[in-house]
Structure 1
Amino acid sequence: MNKLRWSIVLGLFVLLMYGNAHSFAREISIISHKDYPSGTITAAKVKEIYLGEKIAEGTVKIKPMEQNDESIKKRFIEKVMGSSVDAYKAYWIKKFFQEGITPPTAKTSSSDLIQAITQTNGGIGYVWSDDVKGDVKVLLKIDVGN
């Protein structure tokens, strides 16, 4: 009977630990203006957009936006862009001065970014998935871990 009790306790402990680890996983949604020509996007295309390499989707000029919130910005740059924040900033400084290309527009919060995207044809950005609200299109969801 004692072994059975310990097995049950251990099983419950494992379930609780798995449940807690899973519940804290974060997900970033790549969102766009509702009239964005594509219904989905790949992580590789997102990277091209945020490196200034892909500037249009069909006839629509893409207007990337990012967040000033360091927690989501860091996760996005590390997980999606495959870079560090410092290297990403250095890339854009070089791109701006050498090619005259402007980096993505920064917004102060998810709600500001969502509002700007709803008002900007070709607007695209990233927010925590649980912040998605309003009249935007979710193009991609990316698990960025805990």
Structure 2
Amino acid sequence: MIRGHRLILALGLLCAGTFAGAQGGAADLVLIVNAQSPLEAKLAPEKVRDACLGKPVGGARLQLVNQADQAVMAAFIEKFTGMTLGAYKSHWVKKLMSEGGTGPKTLESPAEILRFVSENKAALAYLAKKDLPAKAPGVRVLAVSSDNDPVKK
């Protein structure tokens, strides 16, 4: 029965927005974490990639929060993983089927994302700069090191 639920979750993840294109600008995005997150203030691009792909970062497994806006999600995923949105979703289908666990959470609005991150120490999310309020209690912005090409090809 649990396997069936994983299959449904995995197929939903794969199907949701596979046809959307990456039209947003990844340069206009900011990474956010809970204010109590043990992550350093500056994160290497490889660590962001690891978090996106469900690997532990700094000894902790993070809960990635994706945006429901497929163009924004695609821009972020492409910038930090070097994958298309379809390849990323396929990665998660395979990972969930073989290892189980929980995939990235998807939330509809910046307000929902900010609330989730402020309430969950393991959360890692991204927002358009314009959607980050001047004061966001319980949330801090992470810098990504200046490497312009985070994906090692």
| RMSD between superposed Cα atoms in Å | 2.2
Q: Is the 8 A contact 1:52 1:101 kept in 2?
A: no
Q: What TM-score do you get using the length of structure 2 for normalisation?
A: 0.69
- Which ranges of structure 2 fall in alignment gaps of 5 or more residues? 1-24, 149-153
Matched, 1:77 2:80: no
What percentage of residue pairs aligned between the two structures are identical? Answer: 26
Partner residue in 1 for 2:49: 47
The verdict on how the C-alpha distance between 1:61 and 1:77 changes in structure 2, with shifts beyond 3 A counting, is closer
CA distance in 2 between counterparts of 1:86 and 1:53 reads 19
CA distance in 2 between counterparts of 1:25 and 1:117 reads 20
CA distance in 1 between counterparts of 2:103 and 2:42 reads 23
Q: What TM-score do you get using the length of structure 1 for normalisation?
A: 0.72
Partner residue in 2 for 1:35: 36
* Aligned partner of residue 76 in structure 1, secondary structure: helix
CA shift, 1:57, in A, is 3.5
CA distance in 1 between counterparts of 2:140 and 2:44 reads 14
CA distance in 2 between counterparts of 1:125 and 1:25 reads 13
CA distance in 1 between counterparts of 2:120 and 2:30 reads 18
Matched, 1:138 2:141: yes
CA shift, 1:111, in A, is 1.7
The verdict on how the C-alpha distance between 1:138 and 1:25 changes in structure 2, with shifts beyond 3 A counting, is closer
Q: 4+ runs of 1 displaced by more than 6 Å?
A: none
Q: Is the 8 A contact 2:33 2:140 kept in 1?
A: yes
CA shift, 1:81, in A, is 1.4
The verdict on how the C-alpha distance between 1:40 and 1:25 changes in structure 2, with shifts beyond 3 A counting, is closer
Q: Which has the larger radius of gyration?
A: 1
CA shift, 1:140, in A, is 2.2
Matched, 1:94 2:94: yes
CA distance in 1 between counterparts of 2:62 and 2:86 reads 24
CA shift, 1:25, in A, is 8.4
C-alpha offsets along residues 57-80 of structure 1, whole Å, 9 cap, x if unaligned? 35x552221111112101011111
